[in-house]
Structure 1
Amino acid sequence: NSSLSLSKETFALFAGFRALGLFSTDVAHVLRFSALKRRFFVTTCVGKSFHTYDVSNSLPQDICCMAADGRLVFAAYGNVFSAFARNKEVVHTYKGHKAEIRLLQPFGDHVISVDTDSVLIIWHIYSEEEYLQLTFDKSVFKISAILHPSTYLNKILLGSEQGTLQLWNIKSNKLLYTFQGWKFGVTALQQAPAVDVVAVGLTSGQVIIHNIKFDETLMKFRQDWGPITSISFRTDGHPIMAAGSPCGHIGLWDLEDKKLINQMRNAHSTAIAGLTFLHREPLLVTNGADNALRIWIFDGPTGEGRLLRFRMGHSAPLTKIRYYGQNGQQILSASQDGTLQSFSTIHEKFNKSLGHGLINKKKVKRKGLQNAMSVRLPPITKFAAEEARESDWDSIIACHQGKLSCSTWNYQRSTIGAYFLKPKELKKDDITAVDITSCGNFAVIGLSSGTVDVYNMQSGIHRGSFGEDQAHKGSVRGVAVDGLNQLIITAGSEGLLKFWNFKNKILIHSMSLSSSPNMMLLHRDSGILGLALDDFSICVLDIETRKIVREFSGHQGQINDLAFSPDGRWLISASMDCSVRTWDLPSGCLIDSFLVDSAPLNVTMSPTGDFLATSHVDHLGIYLWSNISLYSVVSLRPLPTDYVPLVVMLPGTCQNEEETIEPSDEMIEYDSPEQLNEQLVTLSLLPESRWKNLLNLDVIKKKNKPKEPPKVPKSAPFFIPTVPGLVPRYAVPEQNNDPHQVKTKLKHSMFYIYNKAALNLLKELGPSGIETELRSLSPDCGGSVDIMQSFLKMIGIMLDKKRDFELAQAYLALFLKLHLKMLPSEPVLLEEITKLSSQVEENWIHLQSLFNQSMCILNYIKSALL
């Protein structure tokens, strides 16, 4: 139990927030019309949630199919499906299937669900009860499509993988008719605008327009792109049918002329999961497994649709992510699909795509878009960005897989830049490392041959190389330039780290590492360099002293990426062992670690420190983790060596409202005791103004003396007298029969013991009040020698306990200033002063030895670093 509680407490630095860049999967979208808002809503699946351009709550598993009516959205996951109201709240859950649900069909006040075992269940939506259950033999009739034909009361049409179709009356539980089919499996069923007419999509690529009332085929169409994935009809007066294919093409058919009138090639890069024409509008909504949702408008003379709006993410796993700019609102991401995109952490409307890299844009424009695929650049593997001069020239440099040239990109124009930075000697090398200076003027490129080149970002001109022939004998694993363009650091696979003068390209220093470096990252503000080595360890160097200041170990796999916190205090590492670890650089300890089910490839932290962003193997999204230490008390204690991190689920597209972070016992605010160690001196919490100026009160009074006497107002307002002091309090009238008798509050306490009440009274008074109280202790002012002796004993007890040390020194100094002349004439007071003198000297000798020891250690550390 103790180990489990420790794990819960220590995972407290980052919490899953939400995912970016996810818009669609291979589940077909659903379209519904809201009569209340008089608007259409498109709903797409994104893993465990769905988007209606608002976001639903997360489900326990990935969504496998969806459906919608005018009120609810139905989403199936595993053998269960749920109904959502207002696109967010789960209002009904339906359990009863034993196999995974594949089809859903709303039917008035009922909903029909079909699983992979061809078990069909009809549910009452609001009572969640089964109305009817039908079981089909999978070997004879495996249900693959379902449709409720319009004007057919209580009837549903079922299509099978064997090719036959059945029409059922679900109220009477009777099979009305069996259609023999066309010897190919049914993949899609869609109601045509005409009554009794249904479009049937087949695995052969045929679309059959069939009259189910008379069992007659009206027309047939065929496409050569594989099985029909989805079908839709225009209802705005044009007799057009659209059919989707597995390769991302859409065919448009004229139902009057019975011919193919247009092709929308590469509408998606993957199979068309769903396509739907909006009712009585020339708009077509499509989605696919390429993580894209698109709306096409048919307003041209040729009848071809043009792209009107879209929401698009990456269609292949990510290769690199980095925050862009200093506001922490944009994340640049490169993917294996060859695109470079920017995702906003604020709202999706600020997302933008920089597109595919093209080898020759002018040639593509001249010869047309059909040649664009052949001239696209390979996927981006690494990139570097700097926004300092983004309004003047290109601000991003990227290297591509297997290509010996770096492309530049312009963030403001959202397109590929003007130059390709190529080395002079073309060899069969790869670019392995890139960096841009903080001023945005120069790009540094490292090659697998060991060469490191510098280019001008404005002109693309080569500005020199480091080393005579090459900077390293092995492959360059990392390059970094400091914030002032004075120093450049390069790391080679032979295990050498080299420091070069940026201006004259001269080698300044070279040092060997314990293992070959895998990657390198520099925090320019602090001059701290992080190195991930091939032996799964991490080295941290100070580029000023060029010495290793920290070494971390603990990862069990290759370290894929590193990230610094904005203040340079934390170093965050992501490894193939599926862990994300946070190292505290000042203490040199591991302070946070958690596991994910998919290995993290990239990690980057916001310049504002609010979010940590990660990307993972075989995932298309960017996952944000909120920094809890910004808004909650977090105990950053070092983790034990045998600590086993928790496995954490990746965040979804919305924040889980049910997940609350309970503060552990270690997070409770720490209350310091009054004294930590009796051997040390403890100071009071009073400000310096209460005790520091006690010896200079006469000077302060002279400076504050008014030049003119205060004028009495004509009619003084009524007021309640207050007690002099820093804390305002009302004065209580005292009955004093003898006006010549001087009474002070300190004299009543008599100081026979260490009276806390007397000390607290002095703490509340200001400098003038303290002086008045101490002056009145003498016999001339109404006090006595015994009271003065008690006061000195109180100071002695304070020095002995080493509590309120500065107050004891200040009060004693003021006492000596006021009563020094009468002390030699009183043997009792002289004896107390002698004891205090030796006590003060002993305390100061002890403090001086501690100070000398601390100064010695600091001087030693400084000399060691220099």
Structure 2
Amino acid sequence: MSSPSKIFSGYRALGFVCNHVPLAVRYQHKHKENYVITCVGKAFHTYNCSRLGIVSVSDSHPEEISCLVVDGSFVYTGCGKVVRAFKQNKQVLHTYEGHDCDVHLLLPFGRHLISVDRDSHVIVWDVDTEGVYLEMDFDNESFKVTALMHPSTYLNKILLGSKQGSLQLWNIKSDKLVHLFIGWNEEVTVLEQAPAVDVVAIGLRSGWIVLHNLRYDETITRFQQDWGPVTALSFRTDGHPIMVSGSSAGHIAVWDLEEKKLRCQMRESHHATISGMACLQNEPLMVTSGGDNSLKVWIFDLPDGGGRLLRERSGHSAPPTKVKHYSCNGQNILSAGQDSTLRSFSVIHDKYNKSLGRASFLKSATKRSGLKRDKYKMAPITKFAAEPSRQSDWDNITACHRGLRVVTTWSYGRCTMGEHKLEHDRFKNDEVAYRHTLATAVDITSCGNFTTVGYSSGHVDVYNLQSGIYRGSYGDPSAHSCSVQGVAVDGLNQVTVTAGLNGEIKFWRFKRKDFLESLTLEKLISQILLHRESSMLAVALDNFQILIVDIDTRRVVRTFVGHGSSITDMSFSPDARWLVTSGMDSTVRTWDLPTGSLIDCFLVDAAVTSLSLSPTGDFLVTTHIDDVGVYLWSNMTLYSHIALHSLPEDYSPQIIALPTTSRISNIVNDEAESKKQEEDYFAAEFKSPEQISDELVTLSLMPSSRWQNLLNLDIIKRRNKPKEPPKVPKSAPFFLPTIPGLEPKFAIEEASTGNKTGSHMLSGSLLPLSELGKLLSESEKDCNFSRLLEYLKSLGPSAIDLEIRSLCPEGGGSEVIMAQFLSFIRQTLMTNKNFEIVQAYLGLFLKVHGDMLSSSPKLTEELEKLEKVQSESWRNLQDLMNQSLCLVTYLRSATL
């Protein structure tokens, strides 16, 4: 089945920290470190508590994770009707299947695991064998299981809490009910073991917290939490008798167990329900997670006994409204959310993520009161513009807010909201006339000095970013008679383009504010986007069409039709060849500007609210309706050749799954696939160099000193030439060699009596044929050069140089011998073996006999045959080298 998109492939999701599933904490004895595990939908993240740095990301589940627990060996997750055990916080090791309904509670119990589904069917699993140890069924009408725990020191026993309010203590070894607790006629939401033996903290939906003694079935004390249901409970174990509780309102209550009273309150610790809470063992630290997509570490060092925020890791608590790449390297993404915050996400590593803060009408008052009780919070950002050229000098981001005419400035370098609130005096002086006026469009010049702001009243104003001073307006009295849907300034600050709702596009001189020309369209305009380098202006209309206007010639050059609903955002590719658009019809379309056709289209589950293609063209970023994540899509045309043809008019797009925080895989079959791959690996036969020569180039494995200096032997000999002439050694006395033995005998060389098969002299040559020439003559008939190659391998550099020089007629050879040597080189190159030494022999041969090779027709013909084989060998080798270098360069640049 073909991919839904030819260009884009899901890469990963950013901005996810945690969700409504309670966190789990594990202490690693090897590293002496506490680790917290949080759920992020179909995967879970592992963070260290010392810095809240991400340690690992699990494989993706087929469905959303409903519950998560840990023990000393595994991380257990409930996903649908299946429970899985992960090793090393990442890969699935065991799978437990047997439930007929979705699992919502898990409890590790020694070498067993207890799981409870929505029908109150309890199964006790053997962790190692994946077998069922015990099964228990409860009737939801009389006892619906909502919480479970193992009381400390209670051997083989578990405590179950119900929606009806009663509790049951069971012995899972004997499968017997030990005791029934009447309860308090309220749903039990949390069960937590207290530091004292036999004491359990019970959280109820009404907000009551009961400390109950299981041994005597007596209530020790009760606390009332006024903020709704109790969602989390934990106890400090560092010597202070303190219990903390979390609520659905995001508040935390600190209870003094000795005095049995409320110690203090930590209001608005989270902006949503506190899903998980855990006090670290023997430390004054507490970790909390909430439904607002934030993970926080608190330290109990305040005078009233409350916790102070020590570390925080968070993403958007509400879906993003606008996303845009920042800077030219494409490594940072600016995102504005419905939580009124502006954040920067890094595609390199999560440690580079940062928050620019939350929009406020009065920043100083917000600092004094804090974000928890901030009454100056501004509405969410709807549109913003950023320019990195002057980020170290002054504010370089301007933003429009929902329902406001005030434009705020932000500083990316200082990671904070700026001091300027841009608003013209005309709006302040005539509040009645401009009561409903809103800021609808904003843009920053490429120099970073000015910003232009468009309003729903038709006015377009220019402000200086350094001082926030008003620098003029376009038109008299306004640029348009209707709402301004977009403003843009070209790359040289020469022309300003404004677009009105009525379909009129006007061109102005940027500095003098003079009107130049207008272009009237037939339909209403919803938004515009300018690509400054190419002067191409994309205009989205209310009839779902997209027009491309050349602002140099000021006329429409392309028209794109295809979206079935309103267009939400547009983005140009770096070279302005593509225009990527998204609409409320849940499609993402890629248009090719030179051909004016649609080349790619795919569907997503939730409509895209904003998108941005990186300045380097490697990633597409999207945000979606009711989703707090920022999704990255990889541009596949950068890694392989893809034929991009025009799609037919009746093309039906396919749905593509959104990226996850980890790789997309079918986790159910991961273990089987890994085993199969391992078996295939060991079952594969060993391939020798002879067997892989058809695919790869193999070397001779000879020392480089035997072939590397062949072309430089003359230089080496000249450098090593002695300064003084060699002296004649003293004459030794004449003697005859003897044969070793008991009786001394003289070694007399016997004359060879065998018949000579041929002469060692070639016809027309006065010098004898060398050993290399003999082997070349012998291999002429059968073209077997194995003996010849072995002979050359056995020689040193000087001997090889002498042998190759002797192949010419002056050295005892001939043109036939030289042609045979070229044939030997050609045949050896075709085998793809001994590649480096053959290249060295060929280089020396061409250097020594270059003049004769160019003058002989027969040798030239052999060289042409050799050139074809040589080019093919080098081409294959160069392709492999280029592929490896490209991959290494990309990985090196991606980690900078």
Per-residue CA distance 1:627-660 (angstroms, 9 max, x = gap): 111122222222222222221110001233679x
Q: Rate the CA distance shift 1:441–1:730 in 2: closer, same or farther, 3 A.
A: farther
Q: Rate the CA distance shift 1:733–1:201 in 2: closer, same or farther, 3 A.
A: same
Structure 2 distance, partners of 1:536, 1:466, is: 29
Q: Is the 8 A contact 2:163 2:186 kept in 1?
A: yes
Question: Which of these residues, 11, 15, 37, is aligned with residue 17 of structure 1?
Answer: 11
Q: Is the 8 A contact 2:323 2:612 kept in 1?
A: yes
Paired letter, 1:52: T
Q: Could you state the TM-score of these two structures normalised by the residue count of structure 2?
A: 0.74
Q: Rate the CA distance shift 1:341–1:479 in 2: closer, same or farther, 3 A.
A: same
- Following superposition, the deviation at residue 142 of structure 1 comes to 0.5
The aligned counterpart of 1:369 is 370
The aligned counterpart of 2:657 is 649
Per-residue CA distance 1:774-814 (angstroms, 9 max, x = gap): 9x99xxxxxxxxxxxxxxxxxxxxxxxxxxxxxxxxxxxxx
- The secondary structure found in structure 2 opposite 1:225 is coil
The aligned counterpart of 1:336 is 338
- The secondary structure found in structure 2 opposite 1:582 is strand
Aligned ranges for residues 59-70 of structure 1 at < 5 Å? 59-70=61-72
Q: Is the 8 A contact 1:327 1:608 kept in 2?
A: yes
- Following superposition, the deviation at residue 730 of structure 1 comes to 8.8
- Following superposition, the deviation at residue 344 of structure 1 comes to 1.2
Question: Which of these residues, 82, 85, 89, is aligned with residue 83 of structure 1?
Answer: 85
1:470 maps to 2:483: no
Paired letter, 1:114: V
Q: Is the 8 A contact 1:286 1:295 kept in 2?
A: yes
Q: Could you state the TM-score of these two structures normalised by the residue count of structure 1?
A: 0.76
Per-residue CA distance 1:258-302 (angstroms, 9 max, x = gap): 110110100000011011001111110100110001110112332
Question: Which of these residues, 525, 546, 549, is aligned with residue 538 of structure 1?
Answer: 546
Q: Is the 8 A contact 2:366 2:374 kept in 1?
A: no
Structure 2 distance, partners of 1:732, 1:593, is: 66
The aligned counterpart of 1:863 is none
Question: Which of these residues, 579, 582, 586, is aligned with residue 587 of structure 2?
Answer: 579
The aligned counterpart of 2:404 is 403
Structure 2 distance, partners of 1:566, 1:216, is: 71
Structure 2 distance, partners of 1:504, 1:773, is: 75
Paired letter, 2:247: S
Question: Which of these residues, 296, 299, 302, is aligned with residue 297 of structure 1?
Answer: 299
Structure 1 distance, partners of 2:365, 2:192, is: 43
**CA RMSD for the aligned pairs?**
2.9
1:515 maps to 2:509: no
The aligned counterpart of 1:568 is 576
Structure 2 distance, partners of 1:543, 1:404, is: 28
The aligned counterpart of 1:73 is 75
Q: Is the 8 A contact 2:189 2:205 kept in 1?
A: yes
Structure 2 distance, partners of 1:11, 1:21, is: 24
Q: Is the 8 A contact 2:267 2:372 kept in 1?
A: no
The aligned counterpart of 1:601 is 609
Paired letter, 2:332: Q
The aligned counterpart of 2:242 is 240
Q: Rate the CA distance shift 1:730–1:545 in 2: closer, same or farther, 3 A.
A: farther
1:630 maps to 2:638: yes
Q: Is the 8 A contact 1:364 1:371 kept in 2?
A: no
Aligned ranges for residues 794-809 of structure 1 at < 5 Å? none
Per-residue CA distance 1:811-846 (angstroms, 9 max, x = gap): xxxxxxxxxxxxxxxxxxxxxxxxxxxxxxxxxxxx
Paired letter, 1:35: H
The aligned counterpart of 1:42 is 36
Structure 2 distance, partners of 1:486, 1:218, is: 78
Structure 2 distance, partners of 1:574, 1:258, is: 58
Structure 2 distance, partners of 1:548, 1:538, is: 10
The aligned counterpart of 1:165 is 167
Q: Rate the CA distance shift 1:342–1:713 in 2: closer, same or farther, 3 A.
A: closer
- Following superposition, the deviation at residue 173 of structure 1 comes to 0.6
Paired letter, 1:396: I
Q: Is the 8 A contact 1:358 1:372 kept in 2?
A: no
Aligned ranges for residues 189-200 of structure 1 at < 5 Å? 189-200=191-202
Paired letter, 2:127: I
Structure 2 distance, partners of 1:736, 1:224, is: 108
- The secondary structure found in structure 2 opposite 1:648 is coil
Paired letter, 2:312: F
Structure 1 distance, partners of 2:719, 2:99, is: 92
The aligned counterpart of 2:260 is 258
Structure 1 distance, partners of 2:367, 2:302, is: 21
- Following superposition, the deviation at residue 555 of structure 1 comes to 1.2
The aligned counterpart of 2:290 is 288
Paired letter, 1:189: L
- The secondary structure found in structure 2 opposite 1:52 is strand
Q: Rate the CA distance shift 1:523–1:59 in 2: closer, same or farther, 3 A.
A: same
Per-residue CA distance 1:74-117 (angstroms, 9 max, x = gap): 11111111111001101111111111111000001111111111
Aligned ranges for residues 99-498 of structure 1 at < 5 Å? 99-365=101-367, 368-369=369-370, 372-426=373-427, 427=434, 428-498=436-506
Structure 2 distance, partners of 1:398, 1:194, is: 55
Q: Rate the CA distance shift 1:714–1:521 in 2: closer, same or farther, 3 A.
A: closer
Structure 2 distance, partners of 1:528, 1:31, is: 53
Structure 2 distance, partners of 1:12, 1:349, is: 32
- Following superposition, the deviation at residue 425 of structure 1 comes to 2.0
Structure 1 distance, partners of 2:224, 2:273, is: 17
- The secondary structure found in structure 2 opposite 1:477 is strand
Q: Is the 8 A contact 2:333 2:345 kept in 1?
A: yes
Q: Is the 8 A contact 1:165 1:179 kept in 2?
A: yes
Structure 2 distance, partners of 1:715, 1:169, is: 96
Per-residue CA distance 1:460-482 (angstroms, 9 max, x = gap): 11111111111112211111111
Q: Rate the CA distance shift 1:714–1:69 in 2: closer, same or farther, 3 A.
A: closer
Q: Is the 8 A contact 1:84 1:91 kept in 2?
A: yes
Structure 1 distance, partners of 2:106, 2:128, is: 16
Per-residue CA distance 1:475-496 (angstroms, 9 max, x = gap): 1111111111101111111111
Q: Is the 8 A contact 1:35 1:70 kept in 2?
A: no
Q: Rate the CA distance shift 1:59–1:771 in 2: closer, same or farther, 3 A.
A: closer
Structure 1 segments, 4+ long, off by >4 Å, are: 712-722, 729-732, 734-737, 768-774
